[in-house]
Structure 1
Amino acid sequence: MTTATKKALVVRGGWDGHKPVEASERFIPFLEEQGFAVRVEESTAVYADAEAMAATDLVVQCVTMSQIEREELAGLRAAVEAGTGLTGWHGGIADSFRASSDYLQLVGGQFATHPSVGPGEQRLEGEENFRDYTVHFTEAGRRHPVTAGLDDFDLHTEQYWVLYDGLIDVLATTTHPAEDWQPWNRPHTSPVVWTREWGAGRIVVSTPGHSLDVLDHPTIRTIIERGMLWAARTASAS
């Protein structure tokens, strides 16, 4: 008996600085190796195609900022609520469609800023907000199929400050220190990796991924790939 192939939809676009084509291309071979038939779209217009969305098991979104039409967002929400998985990384999912409150509610967490480095610290162009920081897995994260068995790790890249609600399941966090030149007066902890169950659908968000080298970090790549399988409810990810 032949097992039906799952269908993945890669939707990419938005701000070119996050290299949506090159970034998403890194994961298409993995999806194909896992038995997904992969469709790639360069805009969110496909979200308004109810037939296509109903046939999609997994949406991999890589669209930073940009705008989304009302009927497109309605189609994405309907698909997730009906069981389609949704996943992505960095600004491609956590900083998409800033003007849409319905999108923000769907994903459950939103990029607010990436705190700067100290006054006088020099950075290369494009790396002005790169910081050294540690990602810590939560107790839930140490048990979850997306992150189980992974160790805390360090990064040198943008550290996302995230606004979020209480309906996400936080698998990993990072803490923004209270530094003398900053306006906040105590450390703030943000989610780095989270999942969300929305209707019959599953959502997985990973905030690291500003540049291609970060996506090639072994732990981050593992989280993203496992997240794809978990969101799509594959047999290999319970």
Structure 2
Amino acid sequence: MKRKYLWLAALATLLLLTSVQALATVAYLNFSGPGINGSLALTYGVATDATYGNAYEVTGISGTFSDSNNGLNIANENVTSLVPINHATPEPTNLLAPHDFSRFAVASGLPAQSNGYITYDNLFWPGGSPQTASDYPFGGGLLDIYGLLFNLGGGKVVGLWSDGVAAPGSSGSAYYGVAVATKDRALDYVSPGVSVPEPGSGLMLLTALGVLLVLGRRRLADLSTDA
């Protein structure tokens, strides 16, 4: 009987160790620019973009966003979720777009070069993004030039992307852009000029799981002694 318990304890310990290794990482991004600011917690695990192995797929988001431009009066509004990626087809001449390249259609108000879309891929680049568009040579941000797209209340979405380290006005640091829109119209567009300090990150270690792991090891040691 003791051998049976020993085996079960060993199996439980192995499962707990595997669970700890599989826990996701959280990166904290604070950003600010003319009339806007926000604070985000981005959750990502081991899954990466199918084209870029150093681009991690963001799986969860929380935080707040504020925008006082254009009479929006958005004050510390909660971020509710990511807009799901939809694997849109990039322009035929763009050979560097990530596999997770996606588009969100906006009927009016975006700059002409946007062609009526906010592009995004919901990827996080801990080591800095490379060039990800054939016609735009800049990279190096924690997000790429497509960036994140997340939901606020009332049908509003917010895009946050990197304009790159060597982009005009960057002064050696990656500057970012922000767009606020609904599917009907663009509400605000600030790019470049948004700054994102280097974020903090850490493992999402669940206290209860850690306690179980310790108890499992102790139980295993006790059963080994009894045997």
TM-score by length of 2: 0.24
TM-score by length of 1: 0.23
Would you tell me which structure has more helix in proportion to its own residues? 1
Structure of greater Rg:
2
